[in-house]
Amino acid sequence: MCAEIDPVRRPDEVPCARRRPAWGALLLEDYRLIKRQFLGLSCPVCGSYRIRDHGRSYHYTYARCDVCAMVFAKDIPTRRRLHDRYVEGYIEQRRAFFGCADGRTWDDAWENDRNEIFDRFLPGFEAVAGPGRRALEVGCAEGRQIELLARRGWEVVGVEIGADMVREGRARGLRILQGMIEDFWFPCKTFHLIVMSHVIEHLADPLRVLRMLRRMAGPGGLIIIETPLLHDFGDRDHFHFFTEATLQAILDRAGFIWSDHFVREYRRSGVPHKNVIACARRR
């Protein structure tokens, strides 16, 4: 592996991260829009053009793929609208949404859930990776998850678009870069572990991001993803609704090998919800 993370530098000076020029991201967005205009809407998982309407929820109209059953928004906002949506105030919405009906605080519930995930997927891998192992979290919020990883001996860095969350995390001494993951360039094979929790469903182009992350992961590196299942359609303001099968399919297409997963069921305000937590290994 290459490119050490320097713990002395400020978050915006992490030497393994270089900010991409803004025109690069805009060109990619233009390509996505032009492709859709001339070729039509295609499935973000399997690429099929055999799609049908699936209904409307919150602000978006959805399509369903006839081949793999992926459900996705037909009218994903532009990069600027995405930035404006998450840049300020999202932390309060996040905490309100993850409030617990059983009396636990949001922080306690979150930490217990994360420890359950790490204890299931990481112990054997941590022993093999040894000291100096590096982890990246995409959409790290205020950094509580990378803070837990740091306690387990990981060198950590997070990427987060929300300015208020970045400020809170940096105030606790965490290395967090502000922006979208597409804004940054990391050298190949930088990280042993990449984590995305409740992020992939918000991405405009999840396959492209997963392929970027595969390049950043070292040989045999792990990626852990948590996302709501299609079961929650109509109750969440998301661009993509995965099943276990479609999540496995998009990881496979991006160059990862499905390793393990489990489904967590819970209730909020009397409504049942399901999340899938999956672990895959870089091919």
- Domain contains 177: yes
Grouping H, G, I as helix, E, B as strand and the rest as coil, residue 57 is strand
Task: Count helices and strands (H / E) in the chain.
Answer: 9, 13
The bridge status of strand 71-73 relative to strand 240-241 is antiparallel
Residue 282's Cβ-count burial label (10 Å; 0-12, 13-18, 19+) is buried
User: Is 265 contained in some domain?
Assistant: yes
Residue 51 pLDDT level (bands cut at 50, 70, 90)? very high
Q: Is 60 helix (H, G, I), strand (E, B) or coil?
A: strand
The 10s digit of each residue's pLDDT in 72-100 is 998 887 766 776 666 666 656 655 655 54
1: in domain? no
The answer to whether position 7 is within a domain reads: no
Q: Please indicate, yes or no, if residue 124 is contained in any of the structural domains.
A: yes
Q: Is the pLDDT of residue 20 over 70?
A: no
Q: Residue 158 — very low, low, confident or very high, per pLDDT cuts 50/70/90?
A: very high
Strands 60-65 vs 256-268: parallel, antiparallel or unpaired: unpaired
Q: Is residue 94 part of a domain?
A: yes
pTM for the predicted model, two decimal places: 0.83
- Determine the pLDDT at residue 93: 62
Q: How many other C-beta atoms are found inside a 10 Å radius of the C-beta of residue 10?
A: 9
Give mean pLDDT, residues 122-142.
Answer: 91
CATH number at 122 reads 3.40.50.150
Residue at 73 is within a domain: yes
Full residue range of the structural domain in which residue 232 is found: 13-282
The confidence score (pLDDT) of residue 112 equals: 79
The total of structural domains in the chain comes to 1
**Are 85 and 93 contacting, i.e. CB atoms less than 8 angstroms apart?**
no
Residues 6+ apart with CB under 8 A from 141: 91, 94, 160, 162, 165, 169
pLDDT band at 11 (very low <50, low <70, confident <90, very high): very low
Residue 125 included in any domain: yes
